[in-house]
Amino acid sequence: MRLIAIAAIVLLTMTCLLRAGEISQRERRSGYSFMAPDTKAMQDDDTANPGMLWVMEGESIWAKKDGTSEKACADCHGDARESMKGVAARYPAFDQMLGRPVDLEQRINLDRTRHQKAPPFAYESRELLALEAFIAEQSRSIPITASNDPQLVPFVAKGHELFMAREGQLNLSCANCHDDNWDKRLAGSAITQGQPTGYPIYRLEWQTVGSIERRMRGCITGVRAKPYDFGAPELVELELYLMSRARGMAMESPGVRP
């Protein structure tokens, strides 16, 4: 009976996700496809992609012993090129101890506090973004599989609700831009589908690498609404929905965007 109930919830959720106006699977496009040729070339060439500087720094952090346990990530996980392959494509993932989904940044910090006995990295800190970029780079070209866990179904639904909800002084939802008006332009910039395939990304506007939470908070501010705090459950649920929406698309971290 429990499996039947879960299957019913999954079916109901997927039906909601395929509502009119949303992007069909055959139309899905990475933000990469909307970029100018010079920006595409920057992402394609690892020697020109600025995000690779964070990847290299993350590799050093991976091997560095830290915390009172004097352990490095590599002490438990070994060679990241093997152990981390496909990991970023599965996040956000359900954490049994917390009883809710966590994103990759939160998983890094949970492992630091639980196993290395080290203080968590601050959100958007260079160290956290570098380690996230290094781990995510191991999943480059791997299809996104996030949200496959039945425990995540209600959280995907919550993320979908947030994606569809109008908010702020402009009374706009994520869907108004990324479902209804993609491939148009806003203030000279291309409106993409909001597919999260390249995070963490290097944005030319930022002149640094940033997380998907930073990008989502920027969009929320853009519609004149109050953004959620970094790490808020709402942002994780929204990220989870976006990843479920991009299921099967290839990871391309670290991406480069205007």
Q: pLDDT per residue over 95-111, tens digit each?
A: 999 999 999 999 999 99
- pLDDT classification of 12: cutoffs 50, 70, 90: very low
Q: Which of 247, 131, 152, 128 is nearest to 197 (CA)?
A: 247
3-state secondary structure of 151: helix
Residue range 39-46: average pLDDT? 98
Catalytic residues: 219
Q: Is the pLDDT of residue 7 over 90?
A: no
pLDDT at 11: 36
Q: Which residues contact 61 (CB under 8 A, 6 or more apart)?
A: 73, 127, 130, 131, 134
Superfamily of domain 2-6+28-257: Cytochrome c-like domain (1.10.760.10)
pTM for this predicted structure = 0.89
CB 160 within 8 A of CB 241: yes
Q: pLDDT per residue over 147-198, tens digit each?
A: 989 999 999 999 999 999 999 999 999 999 999 999 999 888 899 999 999 9
- pLDDT classification of 21: cutoffs 50, 70, 90: low
Query: What CA–CA distance (Å, rounded) separates 34 from 37?
Result: 9
Is 73 or 186 the better-scoring residue by pLDDT?
Answer: 73
